[in-house]
């Protein structure tokens, strides 16, 4: 399924005249999650019971369009446009391509979603939805590109570290808090506060992205499960 088709389907679902009440939408993204990192996809090592349950109770898209890296994927999913349309087609600058040794120079990559691109959050907010985003945005670091300026009523951005992390805006957390737990708690709180109204929750987790860090009990569990020294960094 193409990205544009996915967004159109979500909007059509939200605006259908047959529903007595617009449905709530929870959109969870797992950054850098591999195809075989899920038990439902055949993994014999990783334990993913909650995702497996979602797969069993929902719809799995087994043939669809997506981007191969995170930044253009995010731009496409938020705007419903291909990377060529947003200008975001890779991560960071073009230096990663070593283009100097090639006959053609690629066009400069856009590292922030252009402000003239309408996001799904803006569209849903205009339709009366409460909108919230907690996690990795990666579509512009300056205030004017913060998700709060892109249609989200509430937005807390964090990426780069799983412990001792920073957030935009600055949000207090207890020392030793694991980022995935922090983001999930914020998402659950958003759902509780808006459960009686239509809401759109975007939860782009950072949990399996490098640096590979995990809570001590999980590191120990999977070390024993594998029978080998794990590459995860214990805390």
Q: Is 235 exposed, middle or buried (0-12, 13-18, 19+ CB in 10 A)?
A: middle
Full pLDDT tens readout for the chain, 235 residues? 344 444 545 555 555 545 578 999 999 998 888 888 999 999 989 999 999 999 999 888 888 766 768 899 999 999 999 878 899 988 888 887 788 888 889 889 999 999 999 999 999 999 999 999 999 999 998 999 999 999 999 999 999 999 999 999 999 999 999 999 999 999 999 999 999 999 999 999 999 899 999 999 998 998 888 875 444 444 5
Residue 146 phi, psi dihedral angles, 5° rounding: -65, 145
User: Which of 67, 138, 162, 209 does the annotation list as catalytic?
Assistant: 138
Of the candidates 20, 230, 58, 29, the residue with the CA atom closest to the CA atom of residue 137: 29
70 is catalytic: yes
Is 226 in contact with 157 (CB distance < 8 Å)? Answer: no
What is this structure's pTM? 0.85
> Domain segments of the chain: what residues?
11-61+118-226
CATH 3.90.1150.10 fits 11-61+118-226, yes or no: no
Can 67 be counted among the known catalytic residues?
Answer: no
User: Of 43, 67, 71, which Cα lies nearest the Cα of 55?
Assistant: 43
Active-site residue, selected from the candidate residues 64, 66, 70, 194: 70
Measuring CA to CA, how many Å separate 202 from each of 55, 126, 184?
A: 18, 16, 11
């Amino acid at each position: 399924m193409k990205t544009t088709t996915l967004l159109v389907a979500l909007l059509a679902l939200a605006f259908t005249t047959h529903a007595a009440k617009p449905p709530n939408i929870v959109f969870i993204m797992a950054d850098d999650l591999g195809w075989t990192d899920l038990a439902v996809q055949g993994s014999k090592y990783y334990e993913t019971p909650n995702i497996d349950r979602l797969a069993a109770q929902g719809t799995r898209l087994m043939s669809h369009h997506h981007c191969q890296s995170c930044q253009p994927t995010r731009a496409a999913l938020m705007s419903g446009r291909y990377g060529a349309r947003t200008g975001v087609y890779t991560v960071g600058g073009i230096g990663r391509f070593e283009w100097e040794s090639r006959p053609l120079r690629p066009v400069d990559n856009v590292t922030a979603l252009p402000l003239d691109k309408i996001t799904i959050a803006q569209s849903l907010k205009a339709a009366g939805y409460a909108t919230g985003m907690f996690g990795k945005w990666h579509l512009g670091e300056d205030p004017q590109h913060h998700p709060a300026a892109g249609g989200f009523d509430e937005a807390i951005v964090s990426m780069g570290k799983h412990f001792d992390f920073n957030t935009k805006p600055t949000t207090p957390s207890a020392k030793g808090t694991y980022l995935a737990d922090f983001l999930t708690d914020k998402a659950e709180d958003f759902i509780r506060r808006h459960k009686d109204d239509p809401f759109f929750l975007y939860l782009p987790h950072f949990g399996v992205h490098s640096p590979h860090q995990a809570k001590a009990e999980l590191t120990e569990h999977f070390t024993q499960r594998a029978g080998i020294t794990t590459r995860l960094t214990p805390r």
